[in-house]
Amino acid sequence: MSIADQERDDVLLRRAGKGDEEAFTLLYRRHQAALYRFALRMSGNTWAAEEIVQDVFMTLMRDPKKYDAARGTLGGFLYGVTRNRILKHLERLPREVPLEEKNEDGAGPGIVLQDASTPAIQAEKRERAEQVWAAVLDLPADFRDAVVLCELEERSYEEAAQMIGCPIGTIRSRLHRGRALLMARLEMLRDAPRRAGVPWPAGVAK
């Protein structure tokens, strides 16, 4: 790792605020992928996720003083800004949300289809995976971001609380409620008729 790669985020941000393009590029490469995954899992839309992340970085560059190092990490700050952009995006959307599959490199909302055999079974698995992901997207936004951060992003309660800007107890409560709502939806899916020999999607609790 180069010396530049080891520089703290706040140092790079100060350099970027003075017009240092290399510093901005390092910040972008350091945080873009994680922010994009979060935005994609929250919105279910690749175009929206790309636009939101670009807007977050442009906002940071236009007014870098909005970040206060005394209040937390730059990564946490960027997650918070990204979350606010996502919520505004979701408020403008109709209830129908496009579904996306997870790519092999992990860049996608989350369900991986494996062990495919016949085209009919592949189609059935895809339908089941989309139903599971639709259940995640159907969660209220406050519960969804707790589930996404703590379950999919595997963030600690402390990290999630800092990113969302709320007490740890609130994160625990939202995650508990989000899990309950999600499992209720999945229970209804499990009770629905399924073709013989088609397993429940991998990674989803039975």
Reported as a pLDDT band with limits 50, 70 and 90, residue 72 is confident
Domain at 109-196: CATH code: 1.10.10.10
Mean pLDDT, the chain, rounded, equals 75
Considering the chain, tell me which residue range(s) the CATH 1.10.10.10 domain(s) occupy: 109-196
State the pLDDT at residue 119: 63
* CATH 1.20.1440.230 given to domain 8-95: no
pLDDT in tens, 97-153: 444 444 444 444 444 434 445 666 556 556 655 666 677 778 888 888 888 888 878
Residue 203's SS3 state is coil
Spatial separation of the C-alpha atoms in residues 176 and 132, rounded to whole Å: 18
Considering the chain, tell me which residue range(s) the CATH 1.10.1740.10 domain(s) occupy: 8-95
User: How much of the chain, in percent, has pLDDT values that exceed 70?
Assistant: 68
Spatial separation of the C-alpha atoms in residues 44 and 26, rounded to whole Å: 27
Nearest to 45, CA basis, from 4, 9, 94:
94
